[in-house]
Amino acid sequence: MKELAGAFAKAAQLIITFDPQVLEVTFRTLRISLTSTIIAGLLCLPFAGIISFSNHSGKRAFISFIQTLYSLPTICVGLLVFILFSRSGPFGNAGILFTPSAMVIAQIILISPILLGLTISGLSSVDKPVKDTAVSLGASRAQVIWTVIKEARFSVISGITMGFGRAISEVGCAIIVGGNIKGFTRILTTSIALETQRGELELALALGIILLTMALIINLALSIVEEKSR
């Protein structure tokens, strides 16, 4: 018990003293996950608007498929990206395997279903008169979609926040396509796994505390968004 208490004390000291290794891994994690979330948001929001406004017969089945992908295993996404960008893969010439770029691509694939599904759900909940009013005022299809997105902004923000939370906490993609290279692709989750295996409990705990703090902040942000949307 004393050893565990000592480990927590040293972990807290690493955080309080802004240990360079802890800061490096934390900032790299934030940079990769934020980049993934921003790109996924820019891609998914217009697509969600198009799907929401379409009347295709397969719309319901497609939405169900997207919702099924909410729990897409990170290890499977990592394997897919690895195959695509390996030397023998179709995009092997890009040479981005085991780089932050590959990690960003993997996280985009991982969180896109969440952003798409929640955004579509939010857009569908917007009252029909809002759409009708925009159309009657001569708005184009793109302007109508943008108007509805603004009305459903709290649902959109919730989807983006949840996507970021999924990205920052994943480990399977990061290990497979990033390689957990020190000073280059090592992030919080992969560092925790590695340091635990090495027996460096203090550093693993410090990184774990930071990751849990980020998760807490994300949950608080979601709670605030949900309160404002009521």
Q: What is the mean pLDDT of the chain?
A: 87
Query: In this model, does residue 144 exceed pLDDT 80?
Result: no
Among 33-37, 147-151, 176-180, name the one with the lowest average pLDDT.
Answer: 147-151
What is the average pLDDT across 53-62? 80
Give me the percent of the chain exceeding a pLDDT of 70. 91
Element (H, E) at 164: helix 153-169
Q: Are 63 and 120 in contact (CB under 8 A)?
A: yes
Taking alpha carbons only, the member of 177, 160, 29 closest to residue 103 is 177
Query: In this model, does residue 226 exceed pLDDT 70?
Result: no
Taking alpha carbons only, the member of 27, 37, 13 closest to residue 160 is 37
Each residue's pLDDT tens digit, 35-54: 999 999 999 988 888 887 77
Task: Determine the residue type at 52.
Answer: S
Which CATH number is 29-185's, of 1.10.3720.10, 3.90.1150.10, 2.130.10.10, 3.30.70.20? 1.10.3720.10
